[in-house]
Structure 1
Amino acid sequence: MISFASLWVFLLLPLPLLVFWVAPPHREESNAIRIPFFRHVVQAAGIEPRSGSIIRTRTWAQTVLVIFIWLMLLTALARPEKLGDPVIIEKSARDVVLSLDISGSMDQRDFQAPDGTPKQRLAAVKDVLSNFIANRKGDRMALIIFGTRAFVQAPFTEDLKSLNGFLDQTEVGMAGPNTALGDAIGLGIRTFESSDVEQRLMIVLSDGADTSSRMTPVNASAIAADKGVVIYTVGVGDPNASGEDRVDLDALQDIANRTGGEYFYADDEAALQATYQRIDELNPRTVETQSYRPRQSMAHYPLGIALLLILGGSLGQYVIQRRRGTA
């Protein structure tokens, strides 16, 4: 399909006719032969001699050629474009932050694999998270790890393979042995400051109680709610343990409730897998769809035709004049 970006240019189509009617004709001086009895001739004819000029006239072929050249120039100025097939682009309408506890207690081997064998908590979490990340195609995701301190392991990216690579490099104790749950939520909120989408989701997984945060989880969750960040919390530790090894299920549930999210508890790999499937069901992929049609300029075609016609007409005129000169 052909379209014109500047269709109004064709309003100039009658411009040469207007110039022909309004502007004076172009006159050219011509050489003449002077005769010695010129004065007697004009006296006998009763006319007064004066300087003269000629107005050249065009043949019908030249007129058609000029009109066609004008049409080609206008067509080029109107910028003809060839429209391609519509291209649809899907852009994620939501950003997701994964906040993962890697404190010392995540090294315990109290998780059960599908075959019943004991498995390290972090290894089980990483296996489940890897599948969860791989199924979020089109979403932008970031990874935060926390122990004694919270760190951004991977900023927002749509390259989910790279994100899984950063997750694989995560090891127990990298961020310290304690649990800074409140600071992890606060860092997630700051990470969302670079996001320009309205839907913001944070998934926090922890197996202990907050012991080293400079910001309490309650305050952090209140700020998250004010910023429009929805937090889903997942507890994977032992609620009956003591000290830092006891997962604070009440705190995790309070965080989720304050932000409009949900709380989950998983004590083995199968339950953890079911937890992330439930999160996926509650938050299906949300996208913004944009479409456009690629345009290919074709202005060079009429412009090239006009140039060829001008060169051809000039060459034809030159040949005619040469023949007249030799005749």
Structure 2
Amino acid sequence: MIGFAFPWAFLALPLPLLVLWLVPAHKEQVPALRFPFFRRITRTAGTTPGPGAVVLSRSRLQMGAAVLVWCLLCLAMARPERIGDAVEVTRAARDVVLAIDISGSMDTRDFRTPDGAPKQRLAAVRDVVDGFIAGRDGDRMALIVFGTRAYVQSPLTEDLDTITTLLGQTQVGMAGPHTALGDAIGLSIRTFEISDIEQRLLILLSDGADTGSRMSPVNAAEIAAGKGIEIYAIGVGDPKGSGDNRVDLETLKAIASRTGGEFFFAEDEAGLTDVYDRIDTLAPRETRSLSYRPKSSLAHIPLAVAAAIGLLATGFLAFSGRIGRRTA
């Protein structure tokens, strides 16, 4: 289907006629000789005298080429375009940030696989999160890792394969040995600043207690709640440990409750899988459909034809005038 982006340009079609009517041909007085008995002379010569003003006439070729070129220019100004079939795109109506603890305690091998074998905490988290990411096709996700400091591994993106790859390359201790929960939440808030989607979900996983954040985790959660960010906090590890090895369940609960989210505790790989399944149930994926018709401009075609007609007409007139002068 062909359409016009600016059909009002066709109103300019009668503009040359309007100019011709409002601005007639220029007339200029020149010196002349006065002949006595002028009328008798013209009758004897068999000619009919005309008005004193002389207006150069235009050939049919010139008029036809000018009219055609002007019509083509108006057509180009109307911006013709080919309109394709309607395309419907389904996009997620929610942005998700994964904040994963990679402090030194995540190297502990106290997670159990379904067959009872011991497994490193971070390895178990990666395996479960990979499946969770795979089920988010169409969503935008970001990845933040934190230890002593928090770092953005990937900003919000629809390229979930990159998120999976970056998470697979993450190693324990890369961000320092300690746990900075507050900094991770603060960095997540900064990451969501580019989002124009109302539903924002932060999945925060940690196995330790906050030991070095510049802002307390609860205060950071209050700010997140004001930004419309919902936090799902997941605790893994040993609640009875000491120092950085003790997961602070109370703080994680407070973080989740401040934002209207949920708190979970996972002791093994199967429990962690159940946690992510419950997150899917509590915060189902929302989508929005966008429909549009692809358009490709065709304005260059009438412009090219107008240029070709103008060049051909000018060349033909110049060539015919030269031949006429030689014949004369």
TM-score of the superposed pair, with normalisation by structure 2: 0.78
Which residues in structure 2 correspond to 1:174-253 (within 5 Å)?
174-241=174-241, 244-253=244-253
Quote the Cα distance in structure 2 between the aligned partners of 1:285 and 1:137. Answer: 10
Contact 2:4/2:79 (CA < 8 Å) preserved in 1? yes
SS of 1:210's equivalent in the other structure is coil
Match of 2:38 in 1: 42
Residue 242 of structure 1: CA displacement?
A: 5.1
Q: Distance in 2 between matches of 1:208 and 1:39?
A: 118
Q: Which residue in the other structure is 1:17 paired with?
A: 17
Between the aligned partners of 1:45 and 1:225, the Cα distance in structure 2 is 105
Post-superposition Cα deviations, 1:258-299, rounded to whole Å, max 9, x if no partner, equal 110011122211121121122123333345554443433323
3-state SS in 1 of match to 2:274:
helix
Per-residue CA deviations over 1:114-172 (Å, capped at 9, x if unaligned) read: 3332212221111111222233233333333333x132151414233332233223333
CA deviation profile, 1:28-59 (whole Å, cap 9, x unmatched): 99xxxx9xxx9575374599x99945445567
**Counterparts in 2 of 1:85 and 1:110: CA distance versus 1, 3 Å:** same
Are residues 304 and 100 of structure 1, via their aligned partners in 2, closer, same or farther at CA, if it must alter by over 3 Å?
closer
Over 3 Å counting, the alpha-carbon distance change for 1:68 and 1:108 in structure 2 is: closer
Structure 2's unaligned 5+ residue stretches are 44-48
Closer, same or farther: CA 223–291 of 1 in aligned 2, 3 Å: same
Corresponding letter in the other structure for 2:218: V
- 2:73 aligns with 73
Q: After alignment, is 254-263 or 72-81 more displaced? A: 72-81
Distance 1:27 1:275, change over 3 A: same
Q: Please report the TM-score for the alignment, with normalisation by the length of structure 1.
A: 0.78
Using the alignment, how far apart are the partners of 1:44 and 1:66 within structure 2? 42
State the match for 1:156 in structure 2: 155
Paired residue total: 318
Instruction: Classify the secondary structure of the residue corresponding to 2:233.
Output: strand
Q: Which amino acid aligns with 2:124?
A: A
Distance, in Å, in 1 between the alignment partners of 2:149 and 2:40 is 116
Structure 2 Cα separation of the partners of residues 278 and 126 of structure 1:
18
Task: Classify the secondary structure of the residue corresponding to 2:95.
Answer: strand
CA distance in 1, matches of 2:175, 2:68: 77
| Equivalent position amino acid for 2:254 in 1 | D
Unpaired segments ≥5 residues, structure 1:
none
What residue number does 2:46 align with? none
% of aligned pairs identical?
54
Return closer, same or farther for 1:218/1:74 CA change in 2, 3 Å cut-off.
closer
